[in-house]
Amino acid sequence: MSNYLSVIIAGFGVMILASQKIIHHVSKLAYGLSVPPFVLGVSFVAVGTDLPEIANSIMSSLAGYGDLNVGDSIGSIMTQITLVLGLIPFVAGAFNVMRGQIMLISVLTIAALGIGSFLFADGYLSRLDGVVLLLTWAIFTFIAVNFSTYLSEPVLQAPEGSKRFHVFASIIYLLLLLAGAGAAVKGIIELAELAKIPKYIISFFGSSLGTSMPELVVNIIAIRNGKKGLALGDIIGSCMVDATLAISVGPLIAPTAITAALVIKGSILTMATVFVVTGVIALRQKHDYRTGLLLLFLYAFAYYFIIAHQ
C-alpha cells in the first residue's frame, strides 16, 4: 500500500509543479492583452489551475474509470469552496467580498452541477454528454466574463524570453502534467482495489485534494499581492471548469460508465454546500477566520456524510 501512496503523491507533485509552470509560460504569451483581473481569473487562470483535473479526466477515461473522472472533478469543487477558500483568511488575511461576485459563484456552480446530475443519471458519460458539458462551460464563462468588466487593475507583466521558448516550455510541461496524471490515476486505481474502497469515494476526497493545490497556491499569492479580483475569479472559474470542462474532456475521448447513485449524491451535497458557503459570505460581505472556520467544518462534514451514506 505504501508503494501505491508514494506513486500517487509523486504523481500529484509532478502535476502541481507542471501546472504552475504552464500558467507561468502561457501568461508570458498572453502579455499585452487588456484583461481585468477578475476576467483573467475566471477564464485563463481557472483553466490553468484546473489542468490537473483535466489531465485526470483524460487518463481516467482512457483507463475506463469514469468514477475517477467525475469524483475528482466534483470533489475538487467541494475542496475549493470549503477547504481552499476556508484556509485563505488564515494564510493571506481577511478581505471584503462583493456580494454580486460571490453570488455568481453560487448560481453558475449550482446550475452546472444540476446539468451534470441530469446527464449522470443514466450511469454513462457519452460523447454527447461531453459536448453538452463543454458548451455549458463556454456559455457560463461568457456570462462570468461579462459580469465584471469594470475591473481593470494591471496583472500581466512584461514577457521574458522569446515566444518560441514559452511555447516549447508549455508543451514540455503539458506532457509532464499528463505523465504525472497517469501515475496518480494508476496509483489510485490500485489503492482503491487493494483497500476495497469505491473509486468515486477515494477520488472525491483523495485525488481532489491533490488536484486542488494549484488553486490554493495561486489564490493565496494573488490575495497577498492585492489581486482579490483575480483570486475570486479563479474560484468562480475553477468551480465551473470542474463541473463542466474537466469532466467533458474525458468522455469526448473515451466514453465511460459511472456509478450514478454515488455521483448524484456527491453532486447534491456539493450543490447544498456551495449554497450555504456563498450565502453566508454574501450576507457578511467579508471573508475572515469566522467564515473560514465554518468552511473547514463543512469540508469535514462532507467526509462524514459521503462515507456514512456510500
More confident residue, 80 or 217: 80
Q: Which helix (H) or strand (E) holds 206?
A: none
pLDDT of residue 305: 82
Q: What is the pLDDT of residue 165?
A: 80
Q: Would you state the pLDDT for residue 296?
A: 93
Which tops the pLDDT comparison, 123 or 59? 123
User: Is residue 75 pLDDT above 70, yes or no?
Assistant: yes
User: Within 13 Å, how many C-alpha atoms sit on residue 172's CB side?
Assistant: 9
pLDDT at 273: 93
Burial 106-120 (b: 16+ CB within 10 A, else e): bbbbbbbbebbbebb
Quick one: average pLDDT of 83-90? 87
- Please state the domain extents for the chain: 2-308
**What does the pLDDT read at residue 27?**
61
For 52-57, what is the mean pLDDT? 84
pLDDT at 38 over 90: no
Distance CA 203, CA 72 (A): 5
- pLDDT, position 151: 43
Q: Which candidate, 94, 82, 78, 42, places its Cα nearest to that of 284?
A: 94
On the question of pLDDT at 139 being above 80, the answer is yes
List all residues 6 or more positions away from 226 whose beta carbon is below 8 Å from its beta carbon.
Answer: none
Span 148-173, pLDDT tens digits? 554 444 444 555 556 678 778 777 87
Rg value, the chain, Cα = 18
pTM over 0.85? The answer is no
Question: pLDDT for 90-131, tens place per residue?
Answer: 887 887 877 777 787 788 889 999 999 999 999 999 999 999
The residue among 1 and 278 whose pLDDT is bigger is 278
Task: Give the confidence band of 29 by pLDDT, cuts at 50, 70, 90.
Answer: low
Q: Which whole number is the average pLDDT over 223-238? A: 74
What pLDDT, on the 0 to 100 scale, is given for residue 152? 42
Whether residue 82 has pLDDT greater than 60: yes
Q: State the CATH architecture for 2-308.
A: Up-down Bundle (1.20)
Please tell me the total number of residues recorded for the chain in this structure. 310
User: Which of the listed ranges 133-137, 149-153, 226-230 does the model predict with the highest average pLDDT?
Assistant: 133-137
**Sign of the dihedral defined by the CA atoms of residues 190, 16, 306, 269, in that order:** negative
For the chain, percent of residues with pLDDT exceeding 90: 26
124 - beta bridge partners?
Answer: 257
Which cell goes with 29? 504569451
Long-range contacts of 291-296 (CB under 8 A, 24+ apart): 291/86, 291/89, 292/85, 292/86, 292/87, 292/88, 292/89, 292/90, 293/86, 294/86, 295/81, 295/82, 295/83, 295/85, 295/86, 296/82, 296/83, 296/86, 296/87
Mean pLDDT (the chain) is 80
